[in-house]
Structure 1
Amino acid sequence: MFPAGAQTQVVITGKITDRQTGQALPYASVALYRSADSVLVSGVLADEQGLFRFEKQGIAAYYVESQYMGYRTIRTSVPAGTGVVELRPIAMQADGRVLDAVEVKGNRDAVESRIDRQVYRAGAFLGSQGGTAVDVLKNTPSVTVNSEGDITLRGSTGFLVLVNGKPVLTDPAIVLNQIPANSIETVEIITSPSARYDPDGKSGIINITTKTVGENSRSLIVNVQAGLPSVHTYHNLKNPQRFGADASWGVKTGKWEVNLSGNYLRNDIAGRRTGDVNTTIGDVFTSFPSDGERSFKRYNYTARAAVNFTADPSNVISAGFYKGYRFQSRRADLIYNNTKTDLETGQNVGRITYFNSNIAEKTADVLSGNLDYLHRFADKSELTLSGLAESAELDGLTTNINLSEPGRTRTLQSTRNPGENPLNAFRLQADYVAPIGKGKLETGYQYRNQVQKGVFQYLDQNLETGEFVLVPQFSSRTRLENHIHSVYGQYSGESGKLDYSAGLRYEYALRQFAAMGTDTRNLALSNFFPSAQLHYQISKGWRGKAGYTRRVQRTTNNELNPFPEREHSETLESGDPDILPEFIGQAEVGVVKEFEKGSAFATLYNQRIKNVVNRVNSVYNDTIVNRIYTNAGLATSWGLEIGGNANLTKWWQLYAGANVYRYAIEGGLFRNTVVVNTSGVVYSFNANTTFKIAPALQMQWAIAYLSKRVTAQGEDSRFVNPSLAVKKTFLKGKLAATLQWQNMDLGFIGSNRQRISTWGRDFYTTTNYIQEPDVFLINLSYNLNQLTKKAKLPASEFGEREF
Structure 2
Amino acid sequence: MKKILLISIVITGLTFQLYAQPAPAPGAAGNPPATFPGVVKGKIVEAGTKTPMEYANVAIYSQQDSSIVGGIMTQADGSFQIKNVPPGNYYLQANFIGYEKHTLPGISINRSGSVADIGTLELKPASKELEGVDVVADKARVEFKLDRRVVNVSQEISAAGGSAVDALANTPSVDVDIEGNVSVRGSSDFTVLIDGKPSVLDGSDALKQIPASDIERIEVITNPSAKYDPEGVAGIINVVMKKHIKGSFSGVANLSASNTNKTRGDLTLNYRNDKWTFMLGGDFQNMVFSGERNVHQELYNADTTTVINSVGNMDRTWKGKGVRGGIDYHISDKTTLSMSGRVGDYTFQRNSLSTQHTYDNFGTDNYIFEDNTSARKGNYWNSDFTYSHNFNKDGHKLIATFYASGRQGPDNEYQIRYPSDANGNPIDQNPDKIRTVEASNDNEYRLKADYTLPVNDENKFEAGYQGRVNRESEDYLFENFDYTSDSWVNNPNFSSAFDFSRDIHALYAIWSHSTKSFSWQTGLRAEYTKREMDHTASSDPYIIDRVDWFPSVHLSQKFGRDIELQSSYSRRISRPRGWDLEPFPSYMDPYNIRVGNPALEPEYTDSYELSVLKRIKKSFISLEGYYRRTNNLITRIQELHSDGIIYHTRANMNSDQSLGSELMANLDLYPWLRIIASGTVFYYRLEGSVNGESVDRNSTNFNSRLTADVKFTPTTRFQLMSIYRGPSVSAQGEYNGMAFANASLKQELFNKKLSATLQVRDIFGTMKRSGTSYGDGFKTDFEFKREPRVFQLTLSYIINNYRSKSRNGGGQEGGGDDMGSEY
> Do structure 1's residue 617 and structure 2's residue 645 form an aligned pair?
no
The 5 A counterparts of 1:344-743 are 348-380=362-394, 381-406=396-421, 407-408=425-426, 409-437=428-456, 438-518=458-538, 519-568=540-589, 570-620=591-641, 624-669=645-690, 672-743=691-762
User: Secondary structure, in 3 states, of the residue corresponding to 1:648?
Assistant: strand
Cα distance in 1, alignment partners of residues 388 and 521 from structure 2 = 23
Q: How far apart are 1:219 and its partner, in Å?
A: 2.3
Cα distance in 2, alignment partners of residues 650 and 443 from structure 1 = 46
User: Secondary structure, in 3 states, of the residue corresponding to 1:458?
Assistant: strand
Cα distance in 2, alignment partners of residues 433 and 156 from structure 1 = 32
User: Secondary structure, in 3 states, of the residue corresponding to 2:206?
Assistant: helix
Name which of structure 1's ranges 249-258 and 90-99 shifts more when overlaid on structure 2.
Answer: 90-99
The equivalent position to 2:276 in structure 1, one of 256, 262, 265, is: 256
Q: How far apart are 1:73 and its partner, in Å?
A: 10
Q: Kindly provide the CA deviation profile for residues 687-745 of structure 1, in whole angstroms up to 9, marking residues without a partner as x.
A: 21011111211111001221111011001122323100011101222211000001112
Q: How far apart are 1:781 and its partner, in Å?
A: 0.7
Q: How far apart are 1:118 and its partner, in Å?
A: 1.6
> Do structure 1's residue 138 and structure 2's residue 198 form an aligned pair?
no
Q: Kindly provide the CA deviation profile for residues 193-242 of structure 1, in whole angstroms up to 9, marking residues without a partner as x.
A: 111111111011112222232354332111100112x4xxxxxxxxxx21
CA contact (8 A) 2:249 2:270 kept: yes
Q: How far apart are 1:188 and its partner, in Å?
A: 1.6
The equivalent position to 1:327 in structure 2, one of 336, 344, 347, is: 347
Q: Kindly provide the CA deviation profile for residues 415-452 of structure 1, in whole angstroms up to 9, marking residues without a partner as x.
A: 11110111122111111111112232110011100010
> Do structure 1's residue 128 and structure 2's residue 159 form an aligned pair?
yes
Q: How far apart are 1:105 and its partner, in Å?
A: 8.3
Cα gap change, 1:404/1:373 in structure 2, threshold over 3 Å: closer, same or farther?
same
CA contact (8 A) 2:527 2:548 kept: yes
User: Secondary structure, in 3 states, of the residue corresponding to 1:270?
Assistant: strand
Q: Kindly provide the CA deviation profile for residues 511-532 of structure 1, in whole angstroms up to 9, marking residues without a partner as x.
A: 1122113121101221110001
Residue 290 of structure 2 corresponds to: 270
Cα distance in 2, alignment partners of residues 288 and 162 from structure 1 = 42
Q: How far apart are 1:87 and its partner, in Å?
A: 5.3
User: Secondary structure, in 3 states, of the residue corresponding to 1:465?
Assistant: coil
User: Secondary structure, in 3 states, of the residue corresponding to 2:695?
Assistant: strand
CA contact (8 A) 1:612 1:631 kept: yes
Cα distance in 2, alignment partners of residues 683 and 738 from structure 1 = 32
The equivalent position to 1:765 in structure 2, one of 775, 780, 783, is: 780
Cα distance in 2, alignment partners of residues 352 and 570 from structure 1 = 15
Q: How far apart are 1:607 and its partner, in Å?
A: 0.3
Cα gap change, 1:44/1:642 in structure 2, threshold over 3 Å: closer, same or farther?
closer
Aligned AA (1:25) = N
CA contact (8 A) 1:355 1:403 kept: yes
Residue 188 of structure 1 corresponds to: 219
Cα gap change, 1:196/1:98 in structure 2, threshold over 3 Å: closer, same or farther?
farther
The 5 A counterparts of 1:274-293 are 274-293=294-313
The equivalent position to 1:316 in structure 2, one of 328, 332, 336, is: 336
User: Secondary structure, in 3 states, of the residue corresponding to 2:57?
Assistant: coil
Q: Kindly provide the CA deviation profile for residues 547-606 of structure 1, in whole angstroms up to 9, marking residues without a partner as x.
A: 000010111111111223233454322321111111110001110010024101111100
Q: How far apart are 1:281 and its partner, in Å?
A: 1.7
CA contact (8 A) 2:127 2:135 kept: no
Residue 72 of structure 2 corresponds to: 49
Aligned AA (1:13) = K
Cα gap change, 1:435/1:652 in structure 2, threshold over 3 Å: closer, same or farther?
same
> Do structure 1's residue 13 and structure 2's residue 55 form an aligned pair?
no
The equivalent position to 2:56 in structure 1, one of 21, 24, 29, is: 24
Cα gap change, 1:383/1:271 in structure 2, threshold over 3 Å: closer, same or farther?
same
Q: How far apart are 1:97 and its partner, in Å?
A: 6.1
Name which of structure 1's ranges 689-698 and 562-571 shifts more when overlaid on structure 2.
Answer: 562-571
> Do structure 1's residue 788 and structure 2's residue 797 form an aligned pair?
no
The equivalent position to 1:775 in structure 2, one of 790, 793, 808, is: 790
Percent of aligned pairs with the same amino acid: 25
Q: How far apart are 1:685 and its partner, in Å?
A: 1.5
Cα distance in 1, alignment partners of residues 127 and 273 from structure 2 = 20
Name which of structure 1's ranges 272-281 and 400-409 shifts more when overlaid on structure 2.
Answer: 400-409
Q: Kindly provide the CA deviation profile for residues 245-271 of structure 1, in whole angstroms up to 9, marking residues without a partner as x.
A: 111111221011112221111110111
CA contact (8 A) 2:158 2:719 kept: yes
Cα distance in 2, alignment partners of residues 622 and 99 from structure 1 = 76
Residue 812 of structure 2 corresponds to: none
Aligned AA (1:741) = V
CA contact (8 A) 2:252 2:797 kept: yes
Aligned AA (1:384) = I
Residue 208 of structure 1 corresponds to: 239
Cα distance in 2, alignment partners of residues 489 and 320 from structure 1 = 28
Q: How far apart are 1:637 and its partner, in Å?
A: 0.7
Cα gap change, 1:68/1:532 in structure 2, threshold over 3 Å: closer, same or farther?
closer
CA contact (8 A) 2:93 2:103 kept: yes
Which residues of structure 1 form unaligned runs of 5+?
1-9, 31-42, 58-63, 231-240, 342-347, 799-803
Cα distance in 1, alignment partners of residues 328 and 756 from structure 2 = 33
CA contact (8 A) 1:632 1:667 kept: yes
CA contact (8 A) 1:715 1:757 kept: yes
Higher RCO structure, 1 or 2 (CA under 8 Å, sep 6+): 1
Aligned AA (1:595) = I
Cα distance in 2, alignment partners of residues 556 and 99 from structure 1 = 56
Cα distance in 1, alignment partners of residues 482 and 342 from structure 2 = 43
Cα distance in 1, alignment partners of residues 787 and 546 from structure 2 = 45
Aligned AA (1:455) = D
Cα distance in 1, alignment partners of residues 126 and 595 from structure 2 = 54
Cα distance in 1, alignment partners of residues 249 and 777 from structure 2 = 65
Cα gap change, 1:591/1:169 in structure 2, threshold over 3 Å: closer, same or farther?
farther
The equivalent position to 2:143 in structure 1, one of 106, 112, 118, is: 112
Aligned AA (2:566) = K
Aligned AA (1:544) = L
Cα gap change, 1:170/1:613 in structure 2, threshold over 3 Å: closer, same or farther?
farther
CA contact (8 A) 2:383 2:405 kept: yes
Q: TM-score, normalised by structure 2?
A: 0.84
Which residues of structure 2 form unaligned runs of 5+?
1-37, 74-79, 810-816
Cα gap change, 1:662/1:45 in structure 2, threshold over 3 Å: closer, same or farther?
closer
Cα gap change, 1:331/1:96 in structure 2, threshold over 3 Å: closer, same or farther?
farther
Name which of structure 1's ranges 297-306 and 212-221 shifts more when overlaid on structure 2.
Answer: 212-221
Cα gap change, 1:551/1:66 in structure 2, threshold over 3 Å: closer, same or farther?
closer
Aligned AA (1:205) = I
Residue 76 of structure 2 corresponds to: none
Q: How far apart are 1:674 and its partner, in Å?
A: 3.5
Residue 21 of structure 2 corresponds to: none
User: Secondary structure, in 3 states, of the residue corresponding to 2:72?
Assistant: coil
Cα distance in 1, alignment partners of residues 272 and 93 from structure 2 = 22
Cα gap change, 1:435/1:20 in structure 2, threshold over 3 Å: closer, same or farther?
closer
